[in-house]
Chains A and B, each alone.
Chain A
């Protein structure tokens, strides 16, 4: 990092900058991006003004996640988002430089590493970027390990980077009931499908102490990417679930807030995709898929898959290509029929978000009751905030930023 890139950032202390993911818990999906556009812009500016160094690289990806991000409908953020993408220097799609310049622009010591696409580990040549010092094609797996071990935060955008996704899907021999290995040994950054591991291994922690933060989806929802990124840039540690997804975004179950939920309650089921009724019997994976897109919708709040008769395929879940297929088969005939279906109750009763908050509230009350009157109020608030997942600020190596 050159000092030039790390000049002081004229923003508030990290703890005073908004934690957008926490705000999501309080507001309707979509509202935070609308209402806090200025603050999100300011968060992205910490990267574009050289305060924080973000590198975005692509492994085995279809680039759908990038295309998805670019479809975001946020006029207030557009300028800085453009600049941000430019400066996340490894993102070859979006660079204006070519060739040597582009390669020179790659930071080898980023604060935040963003990865899109799976990482081929058995055939490293199956994804390369640029050349190494000997002039040989350099595998993306080498780039990712080198950069990831130096980064403060590593963010996996999309199901491929998070869990392996499509390149990690198996070759099937269903007559023998087997799923074979994928063609290139594709892995997620810290998961191999549902299993912890992946490229970095289960115990990996980036410089900040966080594991790889996963924002899955096929493609990732642009608002999920934006909110997580802006929260991290503001120095907050997101509250993650067991699959390392930010809980406020990936706590709700697709099924709970589905527009077709009423048909489900009434027992009105479609036989096939496109028919009237709840798509549960037509293979919908919404009962196993955790994300808020039933209310957040896509493309500027326009629609979501079920609106056009298409069952959820569980695209935010690890190994969905093998766990929830055949996608349109009657559930009793499919492997996932035996899985727990956590949401036959109403959504408010069981969504982890609400559960977490209930626990937090109880703990907070106990704290207040037990605490001596002399206990500083700030400490209680801090404990409460920790329980609410507000998290410690990320201690960027760049002291200019944290102390500004």
Chain B
């Protein structure tokens, strides 16, 4: 039985390894391994609450805003319940939304154009679509320039990227002036022009079907349409199918009341529900039967101690725990958010994919495209709503006792931080990341993680070149820094990139 091991799973970055067993041209077993542990939850212990978002931010250098945001939301939730905090001023909340929105766009742009996109390019897969050829492709190069614009816009409010220090419990420390706002708008205008109006997507799709020519406006969206067509041609709507259950925390408060712009939801394969905060707290558990932690490290999140390493544990094969909702695996990410919002702009998933609420490698790509454009449209409205004269931060005290949970969306899916504060010191902390939801190991019942399930059963025509497996793992945009590591904003590729082939293309790379 040939056994393929893909390690490191490059271009998604970091210490992640996938082991596949292939029999008769099919994957019969996949093991998703995370190969790094730092113990950041323990490192928060005994610290002052307002220091903790700083510590937990460094979980990940790619998701460098989301962990700070989720950590702050957890603290604010705890302080509100303890009766020492009334809420974040509207402008502070809006500025966080703007930064999170810029970050989301940045992440999706990098993922689609630089990381996942090249898998469907001519140079890699003979698709005839050469604009996303790594390094040389015109679409690839434009995307590199635009992703920098997005982070420069971010830095106007954030101070630096990665690892901005501006989010704080109570709001943001930034107090932007008209000049900063103008600079953000200017940086965004190039991005806006690159993507063009969202409603032009069907025209771009039509043009992409006809093989061009490349339009003058909205060239980024045109490239994305080409990418989706190439992915559909590659049959990506037929592989990488997860359990069909989806979970989204929701994100963005926007200019309205407390309801989220991208709503929270759980789809069980048949019906969509809107779980309350308490239902999520009750329902989410982590299984550690195949993870290098003591058995006591599993169970209900709010009751478990910080992860306690057990590196010699038998049957364990990952540093990632296995999060479950009511005992079941849940796929998370932009696709889950789109499904939770009952949204399928331009029927991309209905027409080109395998159904509005279905799981597949194609649908994950399509949902990222849909979310990128939707976020851009919201962001421009939020910027217009920023009141420069209003306060950006409420008073905050670290002196309280209480517990709280911050539910938020990272670009790659549902993220939650859980905190217990006693007499002004952090006594308990847990982080449940989207990448552990998607790339978890098996649980005690033998239920494979979402990615493992999505890959098991896939046909592998050429064991030396499991390209569809690579496409599938990348479609989750795994941020192993969240669990272990992160994907990079720019890939670095050979001019002539061979299909990703362990054992093949040994041509002196």
Knowing A71-B151, A94-B491, say if A218 contacts B163 (CB, 8 Å): yes
Contacts of A70 in B (CB 8 A): 488-490
**Partner-binding segment picked from B6-14, B225-233, B262-270:** B6-14
A334 to B505, CA, bound (A): 57
Contacts of B489 in A (CB 8 A): 67, 70-71
What is the 8 Å Cβ interface bit string for chain B, positions 129-160, against chain A (1 contact, 0 not)?
A: 00000110000000010001001101111111
> Is B492's CB under 8 angstroms from A95's CB?
yes
> Is B38's CB under 8 angstroms from A167's CB?
yes
> Is B37's CB under 8 angstroms from A123's CB?
yes
> Is B173's CB under 8 angstroms from A82's CB?
no
A86 to B152, CA, bound (A): 25
Contacts of B157 in A (CB 8 A): 308
What is the 8 Å Cβ interface bit string for chain A, positions 160-191, against chain B (1 contact, 0 not)?
A: 00000011011111110000001110100000
Knowing A71-B489, A123-B309, A137-B35, say if A274 contacts B392 (CB, 8 Å): yes
B153 CB to nearest A CB, Å: 9
> Is A184's CB under 8 angstroms from B160's CB?
no
B146 CB to nearest A CB, Å: 13
A104 to B505, CA, bound (A): 12
**Interface: A107 (CB within 8 A):** no
**Interface: A403 (CB within 8 A):** no
Q: How many A-B residue pairs have CB under 8 A?
A: 297
Contacts of A130 in B (CB 8 A): 7-8
A385 to B144, CA, bound (A): 40
A104 to B490, CA, bound (A): 23
Knowing A308-B159, A309-B173, A328-B50, say if A94 contacts B311 (CB, 8 Å): no
Residue of A whose beta carbon sits closest to that of B496: A96
A327 to B425, CA, bound (A): 14
Residues 47 to 90 of chain B near chain A (Cβ within 8 Å): 47-48, 50-51, 54-55, 58-62, 64
Knowing A96-B509, A183-B309, A298-B155, say if A308 contacts B485 (CB, 8 Å): no
**Interface: B346 (CB within 8 A):** no
Interface centre among B152, B171, B173 (most CB of A within 10 A): B173
> Is B148's CB under 8 angstroms from A67's CB?
no
Q: Chain A's interface: helix, strand, loop or mixed, by majority?
A: mixed
> Is A310's CB under 8 angstroms from B159's CB?
yes
Knowing A94-B491, A305-B160, say if A100 contacts B503 (CB, 8 Å): yes
Knowing A60-B36, A313-B165, say if A123 contacts B311 (CB, 8 Å): yes
Contacts of A84 in B (CB 8 A): 492
> Is A97's CB under 8 angstroms from B500's CB?
yes
Contacts of B166 in A (CB 8 A): 305, 308-310
Residue of A whose beta carbon sits closest to that of B124: A96
Interface centre among B162, B392, B425, B505 (most CB of A within 10 A): B162
What is the 8 Å Cβ interface bit string for chain B, positions 379-415, against chain A (1 contact, 0 not)?
A: 0000000000000110010100000000000000000
A57 to B60, CA, bound (A): 17
A249 CB to nearest B CB, Å: 16
**Interface: B181 (CB within 8 A):** no
A73 to B54, CA, bound (A): 26
Contacts of B425 in A (CB 8 A): 172, 174-175
Residue of B whose beta carbon sits closest to that of A103: B7
Knowing A60-B38, A184-B38, say if A92 contacts B155 (CB, 8 Å): no
> Is A96's CB under 8 angstroms from B134's CB?
yes
Residue of B whose beta carbon sits closest to that of A169: B43
Contacts of A118 in B (CB 8 A): 38
A333 CB to nearest B CB, Å: 11
> Is B506's CB under 8 angstroms from A104's CB?
yes
**Interface: B459 (CB within 8 A):** no
**Interface: A58 (CB within 8 A):** yes
Contacts of B36 in A (CB 8 A): 60, 126-128
> Is A96's CB under 8 angstroms from B51's CB?
no
**Interface: A102 (CB within 8 A):** yes
Contacts of B37 in A (CB 8 A): 60, 120, 123, 125-127, 183-184
> Is B61's CB under 8 angstroms from A101's CB?
no
> Is A64's CB under 8 angstroms from B309's CB?
no
B111 CB to nearest A CB, Å: 13
A16 to B319, CA, bound (A): 49
A13 CB to nearest B CB, Å: 29
**Interface: B15 (CB within 8 A):** yes
Interface centre among A128, A218, A273 (most CB of B within 10 A): A273
**Interface: A65 (CB within 8 A):** yes
> Is A166's CB under 8 angstroms from B162's CB?
no
**Interface: A61 (CB within 8 A):** yes
Residue of A whose beta carbon sits closest to that of B187: A302
> Is A98's CB under 8 angstroms from B9's CB?
yes
Knowing A66-B488, A274-B175, A308-B158, say if A166 contacts B8 (CB, 8 Å): no
Residue of B whose beta carbon sits closest to that of A183: B39
Contacts of A51 in B (CB 8 A): none
Residues 91 to 132 of chain A near chain B (Cβ within 8 Å): 91-105, 118, 120, 123, 125-131
**Interface: B45 (CB within 8 A):** yes
**Interface: B46 (CB within 8 A):** yes
**Interface: A326 (CB within 8 A):** yes
> Is B38's CB under 8 angstroms from A186's CB?
yes
Knowing A175-B425, A219-B61, A273-B173, say if A71 contacts B38 (CB, 8 Å): no
A126 to B320, CA, bound (A): 11
> Is B162's CB under 8 angstroms from A64's CB?
yes
> Is B470's CB under 8 angstroms from A98's CB?
yes
**Interface: A195 (CB within 8 A):** no
Contacts of B156 in A (CB 8 A): 302-303
> Is B47's CB under 8 angstroms from A101's CB?
no
A183 to B45, CA, bound (A): 12
Residues of B that sit less than 8 Å from A by CB: 4-11, 13-15, 35-40, 42-43, 45-48, 50-51, 54-55, 58-62, 64, 134-135, 144, 148, 151-152, 154-166, 168, 171-175, 292, 309, 311, 319, 392-393, 396, 398, 425, 470, 481, 485-494, 497-498, 500-506, 509
- Since A92-B8, A183-B38, A298-B155 are in contact, a sample of 17 more A-B pairs with Cβ atoms closer than 8 Å, ordered by chain A residue number, is A62-B61, A63-B14, A63-B485, A64-B64, A67-B61, A92-B14, A99-B502, A101-B504, A128-B36, A131-B7, A166-B43, A166-B58, A167-B38, A172-B45, A298-B159, A325-B51, A326-B47
Q: Which 3 pairs between the two chains have the least Cβ-Cβ distance?
A: A64-B61, A183-B39, A172-B46
